[in-house]
Amino acid sequence: MLGFLNSRNKRYADYYGLLRRIHSFLKPATYVEIGVRHGTSLQMASTAHCAVGIDPDPQLAVPLPPSMRLFRMTSDEFFAKNDLTKELGGHAFNLAFIDGMHLFEYVLRDFINLERAAGPGSVILAHDCYPINRETAQRERATDLWSGDVWKLVVCLKKYRPDLELRTVDVPPTGLAIIRRLSPASDLLASRLEDLYSEFVPLDYGEIETDKAQRLNRIDSRWSEIEAVLSVR
């Protein structure tokens, strides 16, 4: 019992460790990843009978099993040319991970396109949603560690999609958003895309600087808190 309690109260040292635990907990049969890079996180989807990875220039450092299909293109190009549900064998995705271009408009489009292929229990994870500071959260990269303005996705969804279950785990280095209760039929975001760009692209980091935890729906990186979000029905 003590070991179980310690496991549930564990704080994760980085998002890779948390991703492994989420995969172990959800055991997704279908999985999508935008921004594959070295393949480290894509390889975690060991329970998936069908997985899709999307990246225009992957630098794979690990072998991928046959169940994982890699599309070497941008996510915009992929969604313009492919039906994600068909690529997943006619199924909705169980789990998706967004870790592509670190700019608000890109991650917003990725979210919109993924939600269209969601099912009742689907979960979207978005990296880089809890920035360290102003310098690393700018649209123009000026630091080695760069999360860009992906944080604006959380602010946007909180304002325009309050129907979503949305929490941001404060896990090093730059957080991980968990988004649930998706609505595939919703066109609220897609129908006002240009207006959202106009509203959020110019948004300054000062919007969240003094109250970051509240504005970004922060939760601690303890598994007990994360499990509670993932267990929402």
pLDDT digits (tens, 9 = 90+) for 50-86: 999 999 999 999 888 888 999 999 999 999 999 999 9
Residue 79 near residue 108, CB atoms below 8 Å: no
pLDDT digits (tens, 9 = 90+) for 164-177: 999 999 999 999 99
pLDDT of residue 65: 80
Contacts of 159 (CB under 8 A, 6+ apart): none
**Closest by Cα among 52, 18, 28 to 174:** 18
**Closest by Cα among 92, 109, 82, 94 to 28:** 94
- The CATH number that domain 2-230 falls under is 3.40.50.150
CA angle 19, 24, 30 (to 5 degrees): 85
The values of phi and psi at residue 231, to 5°, are -90, -5
Task: Parse the chain into domains and list their residue ranges.
Answer: 2-230
One-letter amino acid of 173: P
pTM: 0.95
pLDDT digits (tens, 9 = 90+) for 19-50: 999 999 999 999 999 999 999 999 999 999 99
- pLDDT band at residue 6 using 50, 70 and 90 as cut-offs: low
DSSP string covering 179-225, please? EES--TT--TTGGGHHHHHHHHTT--THHHHTSHHHHTTEE-SBHHH
Cα 117 to the chain's mean position, in Å? Answer: 15
Q: Is 131 exposed, middle or buried (0-12, 13-18, 19+ CB in 10 A)?
A: buried
Residue 184 near residue 116, CB atoms below 8 Å: yes
| Residue 17, CA distances (Å) to 44, 77, 175, 207 in order | 10, 30, 12, 30
DSSP state of 50: E
